[in-house]
Structure 1
């Protein structure tokens, strides 16, 4: 007979990230309004939606960068919402990787030093071989001694990826990782992310506004007004773009209706 503990461990092993009834409120605004989302290991999930739909808030809550107002968040079977700040910091350091639109490299450090920084912050002394191999993994073996200002945007983002992945995180989160790149460079980065999933089983959750980038994902989750409006798989870029356009249209109609109702109420009260 399988023990309850073994069953629980097996269930958690099949889940990389889980959000249950997650709400995040800022003042009177619900940035997230009861989100339920489960991400399996070794999959690539893109999160999309109109401006203000809660995409970045969802990512920050899922990665432990922000705490939800209510609900629970789990990464690799560990519930983040009950952790102290110190334990949450340690978990982010050891099990979560993050890449940003703006790269967030330290300008005064070389590519090798930027990559090594993640391990140094974790209290480890990285070997030159380890750092060199991490850079070579992203085609940057000949850029180890270059500083960010001496590299293109695509090269800087690849350094950021090498830095995020040298700690071997359970989940890599990306907040518009191709947002500052041109089309060709964006495609290069997306191919690398796709290969990380296919060849190495890396779990990736990425926020993006770009249908071409989202088309590399296994799954596209659409948010509207802090809620999951659609959860789709296998969509080409054209259908993703059409779904995004439909979402923006729905938001405009809702906003116009709300404004009209407010205006009518104002007239009626005169």
Structure 2
């Protein structure tokens, strides 16, 4: 699937509010996210980047246009079919780790499989944790781990179902710089070694520099892209977009 579009967003529009208070979060947006690649999505506050991620992931339904994930058109699915697709084919990582405090790392990672009615295989759960450097934290609860370790557990949980796409919304937003670097190194490794497709929303130019490409949004529209990004180039582009608002 490398270089073929894993996710295609075609002429998508999304509006929030009613009547006089309507706000166009996305305005005729078209973009493709290639398989086996790491794409970062950036833009000024209110640019529509989180809305784009939520629509691309099937969390939010579009008002117009189409979203296709590996041959499946999301807007044609029923709510139950969409829930199943998200559960089986998509992984999510958020700024808030969303771990269950009373469960161990191993139990938190196994949870999506259990909720899907599948019996988790311990070797699969442990392999997901081991891959993220958490072999010695399997029996630890979230309160016994650092923020960076908790986010790695959340990533392991997202990957245990072997998703076609991993969507990440500000995954380093609650972390210090050292933990952020560890998480971004891991995401980069997933792309380079396992050809995982990753779409990440971030406000951090350093985090964005780990991506293959940065997509910029402004006022609900695509405002350009940047291949082989560096923190300096990303920061300069964001500053320019903010000045134009």
Normalised-by-shorter TM-score class: over 0.9
Task: Show the counterpart of 2:159.
Answer: 165
Task: Show the counterpart of 1:98.
Answer: 92
Flag structure 1 segments of 5+ consecutive residues without an equivalent.
1-9, 252-270
Structure 1 runs (4+) greater than 3 angstroms displaced: none
Q: 2:177 aligned with 1:187, yes or no?
A: no
For residues 36-185 of structure 1, the aligned pairs below 5 Å read 36-185=30-179
Task: String of CA shifts for 1:84-119, please: whole Å, max 9, x gaps.
Answer: 000000000110000000111111111000000011
Q: Secondary structure at the match of 2:233?
A: helix
Write the distance in 1 (CA, Å) between the matches of 2:3 and 2:212.
Answer: 19
Tell me if the contact between 1:13 and 1:76 (Cα under 8 Å) persists in the aligned partners.
no
Q: 2:44 aligned with 1:21, yes or no?
A: no
Write the distance in 1 (CA, Å) between the matches of 2:115 and 2:4.
Answer: 29
Tell me if the contact between 2:8 and 2:67 (Cα under 8 Å) persists in the aligned partners.
yes
Q: Secondary structure at the match of 2:75?
A: coil
For residues 220-235 of structure 1, the aligned pairs below 5 Å read 220-235=214-229
- Give how far 1:132 is off: 1.1
- Give how far 1:145 is off: 0.9
For residues 195-206 of structure 1, the aligned pairs below 5 Å read 195-206=189-200
Task: Show the counterpart of 1:256.
Answer: none
Say which is worse superposed, 216-225 or 129-138, in terms of deviation. Answer: 129-138
Tell me if the contact between 1:22 and 1:68 (Cα under 8 Å) persists in the aligned partners.
yes
- Count of equivalent residues: 241
Write the distance in 2 (CA, Å) between the matches of 1:133 and 1:232.
Answer: 34
Write the distance in 1 (CA, Å) between the matches of 2:198 and 2:229.
Answer: 17
Task: String of CA shifts for 1:52-71, please: whole Å, max 9, x gaps.
Answer: 00011000000000001111
Point out the structure with max Rg over C-alpha: 1
Write the distance in 2 (CA, Å) between the matches of 1:145 and 1:184.
Answer: 24
Alignment RMSD? 1.3
Task: String of CA shifts for 1:169-191, please: whole Å, max 9, x gaps.
Answer: 00000000001011111011101
Q: What is the TM-score of this pair, normalised by structure 2?
A: 0.96
Write the distance in 2 (CA, Å) between the matches of 1:70 and 1:212.
Answer: 33
